[in-house]
Amino acid sequence: MTHDRADILIIGAGASGAAVAWRLSDAGLRIVCLEQGRWHKPGEYSTSFPDWEFRGATSFSFNPNVRALPEDYPVDDTASDVTPLMFNAVGGSTVHWTAHAPRFHPSDFRVRSQDGVADDWPLSYVDLEAYYDLNDQWMGCSGTAGDPANPPRAPRPMPSLPLGPDGERLARGFDSLGWHWWPSDSYINSVPYRGREACNNCGPNGLGCTVQAKASTDVTYWPAAIANGVELRTGARVFEVTTDSSGRATGARYFDAAGTVQSQPARLVVLAANGIGTPRLLLLSTSERHPNGLANSSGLVGRNLMFHPCAAITGFFDDGSDPTWRGPLGNILLSQEFYETDSTRGFVRGYTFQMNRSTGPARTALGFAMAPVAWGERHHADFAMRFGNSTTVIALGEDLPEEHNRVELSASLTDSNGIAAPKVSYRLSKNSARMMAHACRQAEKVLNAAGAHTVKATPQLRPSGWHLMGTARMGDDPRRSVVDHSGRAHDVDNLYVVDGSVFVTGASVNPTPTLQAIALRAADHIRKAQHP
């Protein structure tokens, strides 16, 4: 079946797709979004059930290969040091995310000029600042302005989330070393906000938020975009962005939930399928004009995949303090003491420390940021040391782009519609390994300063592929990039990419506020191009 032509076709209804849809929704355009997943009712999330820990480990896992739901596509990660994680639904991976919402620093956009590595971005912090602010309003940001590690920013829409006794203990550790720390900017409501409730401190916010205190785009941008007339079609798995004989995009073909092929023509196509889904689609969309995949004359589609190297360093406490499983798992405080390059450290660029809480008893035993709890005679002592008594410092490092780290199409693995699955090849660089070793040593110092009696480090956490970046990078030079500063493909003037694929470098912070700011900015460019 062929549908009526849309002005704008967006593929993917996650963090970036929702932002771009909302921003364009009052422009008098016919906008359709195709999303392979479905709506989830917040009441269906794991934490509404007594067996939430089992659900979190299986049907609601972060890992699409473990969930293996019909709307998930498998990812061949056998050649990757990191397991890619994502969710496929209205809201995309923001259903699962922990909603930690830091911004890039101005220096992150000038890595080559400042440190002689990677590339500069074709836009700057100033170009994105107003969009960051807008996104903070729409997603709902709890935080405190005045962080000395970052440029000044507008008062946060809500006060910070409480640090809790465990956060305060760690903050005192940072203070005693004279190191920077600051309460995290968080897209979790500390007070009721725009019709959504305040967080009730339940804990594992990476499993969907039943009370909608955590911003996922199904409860922030989407209701507003739909009220403005955007059509969001779920159960629609795109397998080709179609083009005409001149090479311009003409729409997309997709499988509907019944497995029937449908066509959605459009004047302009926006890809928002994330740093793995977008290059997969571009590589699938070959034609005479685009024999190596759509918008791929540079050969860079799928290349330069970045995840953020990630170390998890856990401190164990026995000071009789409150249990550390109470409160949002990953949104308490961060330290950017080691953010920028310091040549004496033996690596270039830097990392952010983030505090993570512990979790429920079964997930503690499964080994959340560590190996599983020992079995046999040591079992109960090992469990007791961890459960409610441990705090993890996550070191999130800057991952420099390397062409051999990439997304390709698998020759053997397919999704439930028979479409080639992505194959991910990724090796941690020597720079990243040195950076994480440094981070482990520093984290041990701060955990000891906070009073930990024991510290254990996992220098490279494998299931840490939360952040998918770089696989359709932006730049001014069409030979060295896939899209321009606005997200428009160099090769196809009516095709945009607005998700983390466009990142030139990854900074050492979580990417979503930045990719949403980029999506909002792209929407303004699209609007101008539609109504010059």
Ligand X SMILES: Cc1cc2nc3c(=O)[nH]c(=O)nc-3n(C[C@H](O)[C@H](O)[C@H](O)COP(=O)(O)OP(=O)(O)OC[C@H]3O[C@@H](n4cnc5c(N)ncnc54)[C@H](O)[C@@H]3O)c2cc1C
Helix (H) or strand (E) holding 397: strand 390-397
Neighbours of 303 (CB within 10 A): 22
Shortest spacing between CB 437 and other proteins, in angstroms: 23
By a kind-dependent CB cut-off of 5 to 8 A, residue 214 interacts, out of ligand SF4, ligand X, other proteins, none, with ligand SF4
Footprint of ligand X (CB under 6 A): 11-17, 34-37, 62, 85-86, 88-89, 92-94, 96-100, 206, 236-238, 272-274, 277, 281, 330, 466-467, 499-500, 510-512, 515
Whether the CB-CB separation of 352 and 509 falls below 8 Å is answered with yes
Q: What length is written for the chain?
A: 532
By a kind-dependent CB cut-off of 5 to 8 A, residue 466 interacts, out of ligand SF4, ligand X, other proteins, none, with ligand X
Shortest spacing between CB 161 and ligand X, in angstroms: 13
Tokens 């929704």 belong to which residue?
25
CA of 446: how far to CAs of 171, 419, 457, 460, 520, in Å? 9, 48, 13, 19, 38
Shortest spacing between CB 357 and ligand SF4, in angstroms: 9
CA of 74: how far to CAs of 78, 154, 320, 410, 522, in Å? 12, 41, 44, 10, 29
By a kind-dependent CB cut-off of 5 to 8 A, residue 205 interacts, out of ligand X, ligand SF4, other proteins, none, with ligand SF4
Shortest spacing between CB 98 and ligand SF4, in angstroms: 8
By a kind-dependent CB cut-off of 5 to 8 A, residue 188 interacts, out of ligand X, other proteins, ligand SF4, none, with ligand SF4
Which amino acid belongs to residue 415? D
Which amino acid belongs to residue 46? S
Cβ-Cβ contacts under 8 Å for 327 (sequence gap 6 or more): 161, 162, 164, 166, 167, 201, 203, 357
Residue 184 to residue 144: CA distance in whole angstroms:
8
By a kind-dependent CB cut-off of 5 to 8 A, residue 366 interacts, out of ligand X, ligand SF4, other proteins, none, with other proteins
In the bound state with ligand SF4, the residue whose beta carbon lies nearer, of 36 and 217, is 217
In the bound state with ligand X, the residue whose beta carbon lies nearer, of 449 and 489, is 489
Return the beta strands (E) in 427-527 as ranges.
Answer: 454-458, 495-497
Shortest spacing between CB 531 and ligand X, in angstroms: 25
By a kind-dependent CB cut-off of 5 to 8 A, residue 48 interacts, out of other proteins, ligand SF4, ligand X, none, with other proteins
By a kind-dependent CB cut-off of 5 to 8 A, residue 373 interacts, out of other proteins, ligand SF4, ligand X, none, with other proteins
**DSSP secondary structure letter of residue 324:** T
Whether the CB-CB separation of 254 and 262 falls below 8 Å is answered with yes
Residue 72 to residue 84: CA distance in whole angstroms:
13
Shortest spacing between CB 521 and ligand X, in angstroms: 14
By a kind-dependent CB cut-off of 5 to 8 A, residue 272 interacts, out of ligand X, other proteins, ligand SF4, none, with ligand X
Tokens of 114: 């400042």
**DSSP secondary structure letter of residue 117:** S
In the bound state with ligand X, the residue whose beta carbon lies nearer, of 264 and 390, is 264
Shortest spacing between CB 182 and other proteins, in angstroms: 6
Compute the Cα dihedral for 187, 193, 194, 197 and give only its sign: positive
Pick from 520, 527, 495: nearest CA to 22: 520
In the bound state with other proteins, the residue whose beta carbon lies nearer, of 234 and 416, is 416
Give the rounded distance of the alpha carbon of 73 from its chain centre.
17
Whether the CB-CB separation of 391 and 364 falls below 8 Å is answered with no
Shortest spacing between CB 273 and ligand X, in angstroms: 3
Shortest spacing between CB 272 and other proteins, in angstroms: 28
Footprint of ligand SF4 (CB under 6 A): 188, 199-203, 205, 209, 211, 213-214, 328
By a kind-dependent CB cut-off of 5 to 8 A, residue 477 interacts, out of ligand X, ligand SF4, other proteins, none, with none
Tokens of 442: 């520093």
Shortest spacing between CB 394 and ligand SF4, in angstroms: 17
Helix axes 430-449, 164-177, angle to 10 degrees: 100
**Nearest residue relative to ligand X (C-beta):** 14
Helix (H) or strand (E) holding 410: strand 406-414
**DSSP secondary structure letter of residue 159:** P
In the bound state with ligand X, the residue whose beta carbon lies nearer, of 312 and 455, is 312
By a kind-dependent CB cut-off of 5 to 8 A, residue 414 interacts, out of other proteins, ligand SF4, ligand X, none, with none
By a kind-dependent CB cut-off of 5 to 8 A, residue 395 interacts, out of ligand X, ligand SF4, other proteins, none, with none
Shortest spacing between CB 262 and other proteins, in angstroms: 30
